[in-house]
Amino acid sequence: MAETIKVTLPEGQVERVPRGTTPLELLRRQNQRLAEQAVVAMSNGDLVDLTEPLLRDTALRFLTTDDPEGMFVFRHSSAHLLAAAVLELFPEVKLGVGPPTDNGFFYEFYREQPFTPEDLARIERKMAELRDADVPNERRWLPRAEAMKLYEQQGQKFKCELVEEKAEGDQVSFYVTGKFIDFCRGPHIPSTGRIKAFKLLSVSGAYWKGVEGNPQMQRIYGTSFPSQAELDDFLHRLEEARRRDHRRLGPELDLFSFQDEAGAGLVFWHPKGGLVRTLMEDWLRAEYLRRGYQMVYTPHVMRIDLWKTSGHLDYYRQNMFPPMEEEHLTYQLKPMNCPGHILIYQSRLRSYRDLPLRLAELGTVYRYERGGVLHGLLRVRGFTVDDAHIFCTPEQVGEEIRLCVEFALDALRTFGFERFEAELSAYEPGHPEAYAGRVEDWERAEGALQRTLEQIGLPFKRMEGEAVFYGPKIDVKLIDAIGRPWQLSTIQFDFNLPERFDLSYIAADGAPHRPVMVHRALWGSVERFFGILIEHYAGAFPVWLAPVQAVVLPISEKNAAYAGQVAERLRSAGFRVELDARNEKLQAKIRDAQLQKIPFMLVCGKKEEEAGTVSVRSRAKGDLGPRPLGDFEGELRRLVETRAADA
């Protein structure tokens, strides 16, 4: 047995150390600074505790919270700190799971009484105590039976379940933090003292293991960082997200509202929001026509038989409003547009010469979403899909997909988004029975999707086995101004509906063939996209979309007539301009215009009136000084025509 082992460090230097040396001991000799920052080591590719004795020759590197895995370990240990504190204060709680998340961590507890905000404050103080005591996190191994006995004695029934399900082998891994012991595979940071900054954020209900019907756990969410500055930065970002929240900005900017009297999840577009929507839709319609789509309209209620044929009644019923009974017939409010478009396709015999047939509709649908899931404009019960269905031959599939993805990116870029990611959901080979359509169709379709993404150079993840049963799909996500991803466009093959409706076209051989159907939505829902736009721009729409592009501000009543002329001239030139002739000080008018996020304020006083100019103030850049009205008009026109990103 060798007395020493060989450790290869990241820069390639090789150290000989006594067997049983821990990564932390080694690191303290190497680099004291890193020793304080490191949270975990990677030995031969596996994450290991810094305090785990090294027994074999290994390649070793050290991770800090700058590495995603390091941050996960750090947050995981933070969750343990939370659980340790909770157990000291509330010894009766039953522990669930406590993992790290993207932005922090949570730990689940079962307890009869709910945790109150005061409880959270107490828990935070206890966590700080345990942190200040710098309690070590030590790993222990227990024989499986002993582990079960331990948890049974403590009445930790959820933990018993976890040990039963998750423990591998005879020995079960535990971590001990002071009086707290937890079944856990680790790894963890060496001691609690490193968790310099943390904050508990919320408490909420969560089903045990996420299964409806299981007991409700109380999940305490928190976040943590190695320094207070980083925590402050995180809290600022939360604040920034709150500042952009479309649910706040919508009413403030008079864009839209919800009305209790009308019902939950039903949107009222006010004049200003309606104007933005009109501009969005105008752009989209022009693009549809340019790209060979044909606009259609289909009814909002249709006979229920149609939804039997399409299959929605079977697999989508829980999301559909209840049917409406008439004396002889039953009608259904539409949750989707596809069947309507199919009926148009079927209205006459189709030739291969008619294909591709691209039917587009800004189709308003109603879906009965469960009460608890509604969320501003992002999750509603009535919304308009920028929907289109493309019926084409199998040979045309590749080209159609390429056109769709290009269209999608164009539709998002035009509205100020620049960063995208895609997901390709593919079928799971070996289970043909789980999918509609033929294997060769699937392969052709998936090939077309993948080639398109590669050609266009859009980064994508292939999600094996993630496809829905009726066809593979591409989902495009965008990343907004503050780095949040949103799933928007979807381009999906449908091998199911053409079968169910027995669609066909007459090919060159004179025989009927089955067309391929592609379902695609670029914004998804106009409501949702609008909500995302509001947050992306923080309510400050670019000039071409701004409901009010400029407001004219007379300094006093003496200049009101001139200001009125300025406003009138710009209006007749086609711009959206308001006159603020209120008996208020200039500062007050400017403040109100800034809060309304109007791109330009045109100050009109004695000087401007005499010179025939306006003093321009930009909401973003402040006072730009006086200029001839004609110059400003030209600048405004340029900003609108180029759909410039900001004022």
How far is Cα 133 from Cα 135, in angstroms, rounded to an integer? Answer: 6
Q: How far is the CB of 495 from RNA (least distance, A)?
A: 11
Q: How far is the CB of 54 from RNA (least distance, A)?
A: 38
Q: How far is the CB of 513 from RNA (least distance, A)?
A: 23
CA distances from 550 to 143, 273, 582 (A): 74, 17, 16
Residue 263 interacts with RNA (CB under 7 A): yes or no? yes
Residue 319 interacts with RNA (CB under 7 A): yes or no? yes
Residue 455 interacts with RNA (CB under 7 A): yes or no? no
Q: Which stretch binds RNA (CB under 7 A): 3-11, 150-158, 197-205, 562-570?
A: 197-205
Residue 166 interacts with RNA (CB under 7 A): yes or no? no
Q: How far is the CB of 265 from RNA (least distance, A)?
A: 6
Q: How far is the CB of 307 from RNA (least distance, A)?
A: 11
Hey, how many other C-beta atoms are within 10 angstroms of the C-beta on 206?
17
How far is Cα 301 from Cα 325, in angstroms, rounded to an integer? Answer: 12
Q: How far is the CB of 532 from RNA (least distance, A)?
A: 14
Residue 271 interacts with RNA (CB under 7 A): yes or no? no
The interface with RNA within residues 472-501 (CB under 7 A) comprises 496
Task: Give 596's contacts (C-beta < 8 A, 6+ positions apart).
Answer: 253, 548, 551
SS3 348: coil
Phi, psi torsion values for 18, nearest 5 degrees = -60, 140
Q: Which stretch binds RNA (CB under 7 A): 86-94, 438-446, 478-486, 556-564?
A: 556-564
Q: Which stretch binds RNA (CB under 7 A): 57-65, 291-299, 344-352, 600-608?
A: 600-608
Residue 90 interacts with RNA (CB under 7 A): yes or no? no
Amino acid occupying residue 530: F
CA distances from 93 to 64, 112, 519 (A): 33, 8, 50
Residue 205 interacts with RNA (CB under 7 A): yes or no? yes
Both tokens of 90, joined, read: 């509330």
Both tokens of 81, joined, read: 């700190």
Both tokens of 1, joined, read: 């047995």
- Which residue, 237, 215, 234, is CA-closest to 226? 234
Site string for RNA, 365-404 (x = CB under 7 A): ----xxxxxxxx--x-------------------------
Longest dimension (CA), the chain: 99
Q: How far is the CB of 499 from RNA (least distance, A)?
A: 12
Hey, how many other C-beta atoms are within 10 angstroms of the C-beta on 534?
26
Q: What angle do CA 141, 143, 149 make, to 5 degrees?
A: 110
Residue 615 interacts with RNA (CB under 7 A): yes or no? yes
Q: Name the residue with tokens 């590495």.
A: 67
By beta-carbon proximity to RNA, the closer residue of 211 and 511 is 211
Q: How far is the CB of 262 from RNA (least distance, A)?
A: 9
By beta-carbon proximity to RNA, the closer residue of 70 and 542 is 542
Q: Name the residue with tokens 């390709």.
A: 424
Both tokens of 536, joined, read: 């992306």
Residue 96 interacts with RNA (CB under 7 A): yes or no? no
Both tokens of 102, joined, read: 């993207």
* Residues forming the site for RNA (CB under 7 A): 114, 202-207, 210-212, 216, 218-219, 247, 251, 258, 260, 263-265, 311-312, 315-316, 319, 335-336, 369-376, 379, 468-470, 496, 555-558, 582-588, 590-591, 594-595, 601, 603, 605-608, 615, 617, 622-623, 626
